[in-house]
Amino acid sequence: MVTWVLVFFILFGLEVLYLYVAKKYNIIDNPSERSSHTYLTRRGGGIIFPIAWLLYFFLHQCPLPFFTLGLIIVSTISFLDDMLTISAKYRIIIHVFAFSLCFYQLHLINVLPWWALAGTFIFCIGCLNAINFMDGINGMTGLYFLSIFLPFIYFLQTTIYSKQSPYIYIVMALLIFGFFNFRKRAICFAGDIGSVSIAFITIYFIIQLVIKTNGNFLQNIQYILLLALYGIDSVFTLLQRLYNRENIFHPHRKHLYQLLANELNMPQIAVAAMYASIQFGINIWVFTHPNITLQTTALILFILSVIYIVVKRFILVSIINKQMKIVK
């Protein structure tokens, strides 16, 4: 217990130190017409996520070295992108290399056929960038990933890791980040380094969970539900933007959570809490029902997708009607 308290205060102190540095060197997020905020805010507070992993790494005999190197690489390029804006093609090349290290750590390189490996690369990089795009309002990243890692601690601590669980380090980092971000006027945002690093960590642990449980992804397909809400919002928003022939790499405010916060004026922390609560309920159900079939998983995704489409359609119609009344 004393160790956990000490680790928590070390991480908290490092976050405070970073926020001081960010203020001194003007590492800030400038609001634009596509932003969900209207004030200058320090960017990159999510640097605490890779720092938490590195602290675990050095305190516990340096486990998972190739994954750790991959995390350092994606965190570095993401931090540079926060400050300098790196071309998307260079970021994707880095992501491919980092996931190559991940897959080597998981022994997937020599196990999967080339087509399955290629599909896994595409899926993981797509998830990484989708999660990055979902980091747009106060509280979203911190609460959403707490809904994933808290069940990890409860259900997986004794099956995959010992009591010195890395999940606890990640949860502490999420709580510390949330202290500065989960508020009406955030002190800091996660930045790309935060959203990308926590995505990379989460994707690795989900793949590891599949391998440790059975090794056959199709027999453990239910674990994609651990990212169900992010996935549905990202996929349908992407399809909407492709249909409208928009540049999918440009910032926008068309995710459902953005419409709720920006167009319907719901408090951002309320929207974030809603997403996290629904995902938390789904995750608890997944872990308490380990034998979920492919058909059941598909049915759940279908029901969630229908609800999403109906809600988003209703909101879009309401927005259009509101704008028409203003014009009149």
Q: Where along the chain do its domains lie?
A: 2-27+41-327
Query: Over the stretch 198-241, which tens digit does the pLDDT of each residue have?
Result: 999 999 999 998 887 765 666 678 899 999 999 999 999 999 99
Task: Quickly tell me which residue has 């949860």 as its tokens.
Answer: 171
The amino acid at residue 230 is Y
Q: Please report the pLDDT score of residue 21 as a whole number.
A: 95
More confident of the two residues 100 and 316: 100
Q: State the Cα–Cα distance between residues 72 and 46, nearest whole angstrom.
A: 13
Q: How confident is the model at residue 158 (pLDDT cuts 50, 70, 90)?
A: low
Specify the pTM. Answer: 0.93
**Nearest CA-CA partner of 5 in 144, 182, 168, 153:** 168
Residue 87 has pLDDT above 90, yes or no: no
Q: Please report the pLDDT score of residue 307 as a whole number.
A: 97
More confident of the two residues 232 and 322: 232
Q: State the Cα–Cα distance between residues 198 and 78, nearest whole angstrom.
A: 12
Residue 99 has pLDDT above 80, yes or no: yes
Token reading at 188: 């800091």
pLDDT averaged over every residue in the chain: 89
> What backbone torsions phi and psi does residue 188 show, to the nearest 5 degrees?
-150, 160
Query: Over the stretch 271-306, which tens digit does the pLDDT of each residue have?
Result: 999 999 999 999 999 999 888 888 999 999 999 999
Output the DSSP codes for 125-144.
HHHHHHHHHT--STTHHHHH
Share of the chain above pLDDT 70, in %: 91
Q: Please report the pLDDT score of residue 157 as a whole number.
A: 65
Residue 36 has pLDDT above 80, yes or no: no
Residue 174 has pLDDT above 60, yes or no: yes
Query: Over the stretch 143-157, which tens digit does the pLDDT of each residue have?
Result: 999 999 999 988 876
Residue 24 has pLDDT above 70, yes or no: yes
